[in-house]
Amino acid sequence: MKITVIGGGSTYTPELINGFLARTAQLPASELWLMDIDKERLDVVGGFAQRMVQAKGAPFKIVLSTNQREAIAGASYVCTQFRVGQMQARREDEYLGLRHGLIGQETTGIGGMAKALRTIPVMLDIAKDIRETAAGALLVNFTNPSGLVTEALNRYAPDVQSVGVCNAPYNAKMSFLELLQNNSPEPIDPARVELKTLGLNHLTWHYGLTLDGEDVWAQVLESYLQDAAQEEHPEWESALIASTRMIPNYYLQYFYHTEKKLAEQKKYPPSRAEEVMQVEAELLHQYADPSLTEPPADLMKRGGAYYSTVATQLLASHFNDLGETHVVNVRNNGAIKEWDPSWVLELPATVRRSGITPIPAAPLPPFAFGLLAAVKSYEILTAQAAVTGDRNTAYQALLVHPLGPALPNAEKVLDDMLETNRKYLPQFC
């Protein structure tokens, strides 16, 4: 079996390699292709990956390629984890936000919009190569903004099987499991726990947790509120949790605590991208060490906890037809019958070889749905703008986003966004 990783030069890749090495019995890959357009970086990361695999007895072959079509041809799974424009483009997104007093984070607000406009055409080109050279392959997308990119795939490449994946739901599950663990004398296997969550990627509300199928959410909320009461600056106000009986995804901080997040941006430099650039430079230096065969401790500074766990567990469940429940980004298809069936949502789904099926659930209450509907409208418009290069559509996407510019500034912000990203947005030229 051939598995392909587009964006194989990412500093995350060694963690992903460890995930595949830990699951060779479940995922009997013969070849793992790492593809990247940056050959110099691919040689460093890929060379390290080859040493890692060799040190474990070479259960599969690592193949390096700068040819996307060649890398995809004949693959059973294509995992995408690339960044158009690399980290410098992320830095530009952050300072774009700073210039206009708006959120410039890489998945949320105008930063996320700029990244989506750059990314979607490339992702659809990958889908084209899958269609023509690897029919039936599953595209597993980690590229941010994951939900919006998966929305575009479902609308503009519906014949290619795709699923969007993020490590945030798994991180939430593990944090809630830690709250349960405080009152349990025995260790709790994460496989016994399932998270109930609903919304869009980076815009979800967690509303339940089960342990061996038993609802333990009341215990989680009680422990959460007790801990929050002891903190000087808790992540969420107790009144919000007590009122809604839900815990928002961390990224909702950008919507509920916007002024706080804008104040943090005013401290640039360094921006988060600039911090990551420094971390990555050091990681690449370590990866180039010919004696290194295990991921260095500094990889944790890069973020992305549980990334390899989420990725490889999903592939193993699909390949082995396990029917496990995973939180993913997939087309609604009536699972939330009150909502548009064409929307891509982030929610628990059953993963089988025959497909990934969202599990039916009740809709979010009105206070949450209002925000979700606005952001979904933005996603649909942004995907359309990325495909068509239509300036009016991009302008309307800016207007509908809750974190977008005020009307008098919208054209100025759009002009700046398009000019800053000119070389990555030929569809707008």
| pLDDT per residue as tens digits for the range 141-190 | 999 999 999 999 999 999 999 999 999 999 999 999 999 998 788 899 99
Give first-to-last CA distance, the chain, whole Å: 41
Whether 301 has a pLDDT exceeding 90, the answer reads: no
Give residue 303's pLDDT: 74
Give bridge partners of residue 401 from the DSSP assignment: none
Whether 7 has a pLDDT exceeding 90, the answer reads: yes
Which whole number is the average pLDDT over 207-227?
Answer: 96
Give residue 300's pLDDT: 81
Whether 8 has a pLDDT exceeding 80, the answer reads: yes
Contact 147, 346 (CB under 8 A): yes
Of all residues in the chain, the percent with pLDDT exceeding 70 is 100
Contact 270, 31 (CB under 8 A): no
Which one from 251, 254, 287, 307 is the annotated catalytic residue?
251
Which whole number is the average pLDDT over 359-372?
Answer: 98
Contact 162, 139 (CB under 8 A): yes
Give residue 212's pLDDT: 96
| Of the candidates 323, 310, 313, the residue with the CA atom closest to the CA atom of residue 359 | 323
The model's pLDDT over 44-81, given as tens digits with 9 standing for 90+, comes to 999 999 999 999 999 999 999 999 999 999 999 999 99
Give residue 235's pLDDT: 95
DSSP state at residue 68 = H
User: Which ranges of 39-102 would DSSP assign to H, the alpha helix?
Assistant: 39-55, 68-72, 86-100
Which whole number is the average pLDDT over 300-325?
Answer: 91
In angstroms, the CA 246 to CA 51 distance is 45
Whether 261 has a pLDDT exceeding 70, the answer reads: yes
Give residue 112's pLDDT: 98
Whether 118 has a pLDDT exceeding 90, the answer reads: yes
| Of the candidates 110, 67, 69, the residue with the CA atom closest to the CA atom of residue 412 | 110
Give residue 299's pLDDT: 87
Of all residues in the chain, the percent with pLDDT exceeding 90 is 96
Contact 220, 179 (CB under 8 A): yes
In angstroms, the CA 209 to CA 348 distance is 12
The model's pLDDT over 351-362, given as tens digits with 9 standing for 90+, comes to 999 999 999 999
Whether 304 has a pLDDT exceeding 70, the answer reads: no
Which whole number is the average pLDDT over 192-201?
Answer: 98
Please tell me which residue, 300 or 156, carries the higher pLDDT value.
Answer: 156
Give residue 26's pLDDT: 95
Which whole number is the average pLDDT over 415-426?
Answer: 98
Average pLDDT over the chain reads 97
Instruction: Decide if 250 is catalytic.
Output: no
